[in-house]
Every structure is written in C-alpha cells, then in structure tokens.
Amino acid sequence: MNKAVQYRDSERGSAGVKFLAVLAVILLVANAGYNYLPVAYNAESLKSEMSTAVLQGIAMPGKINPVDNVKVRIQKAMRQNDIPPDATMDVKQAGNTITAHVTYNQQVNLLPFGIYRYNYHFDEVVTPTGFLLKQ
C-alpha cells in the first residue's frame, strides 16, 4: 500500500519554479500599480480641483473676472498635480455658468524597462452644479 505512494518521480520538484512564476507575476503587478496609481490619483485630484474652481468662480463677488479666476486656479492645480505641460485648458462662460475643459495624454510604464507603455488619456469637462445655479 505504501509502495504506490513512495515512488512518484513525476510529481517531485517544480515547487521552486511555481514560486518564481508567482513571484514574477506579483512583482509585475506591483510595478504597474506603483507607476499607474500616482497618475490616476493626480487626475482625480485635478477633477476635484476643477469642479471647486468652477463653483468658486461663479460665487466670486465684485468686479473680478470669473473666467480668469477659474483659469488661474486650474493652472495652479495642474502644477500641483504634476500634469504634463502640454495639457490643453479651455474655460468658457455662458450666461451664469462657467465650463472648464482639460485634456492631456501621459505615458505610464506598466512593465519595467519600457517594455509596455500605457497612454493615460484625460478628457474632462466640468460644469457647476448645486444651489448657486437655481433661480
């Protein structure tokens, strides 16, 4: 009964190979996350700053030009969030609302040594919502 269990040469080994394969996959996923997450976080932070800037641009009292104020706030947010300098920004005022539009592309190295680069495309249009627009 024990002789059948004792001599299984084809089942021996390969644990080290499986371990290295799993470790390699884990390292590749960790590297991709390490490179991708800051880019995605900066994009989401920019979205948040854009909506805040547009909403505050509408609420500005006095003789301040709201379009210029929104442009300055968004440009500051773009510098703080490491947005590429070739990003395009368009701020327009139509009646009581201000619309901000920002687009850019950023290369993200998902695999090490530049084997695979992901083109992160950001294209966001923000218009204000809330109690300031209700008449």
Q: What percent of the chain has pLDDT over 70?
A: 86
pLDDT of 10 higher than 80? no
High-pLDDT (> 90) share of the chain, %: 66
Q: Residue 106 has what pLDDT?
A: 96
Question: Which of 95, 78, 96 is closest to 87 using CA atoms?
Answer: 78
The band of 99, judged by pLDDT with boundaries at 50, 70 and 90, is very high
Q: What share of the chain is helix, strand, coil (3-state, %, to 5)?
A: 55, 20, 25
Q: Is the pLDDT of residue 119 over 70?
A: yes
- Six-digit token string for 102: 């920002």
pLDDT in tens, 30-65: 999 999 999 999 999 999 999 999 998 888 777 788
Nearest one of 45, 35, 48, 49 to 106, comparing CA atoms: 35
Give the Cα separation of 115 and 3 in Å (integer).
Answer: 50
pTM of the full predicted structure? 0.82
Lowest mean pLDDT among 43-47, 93-97, 127-131: 127-131
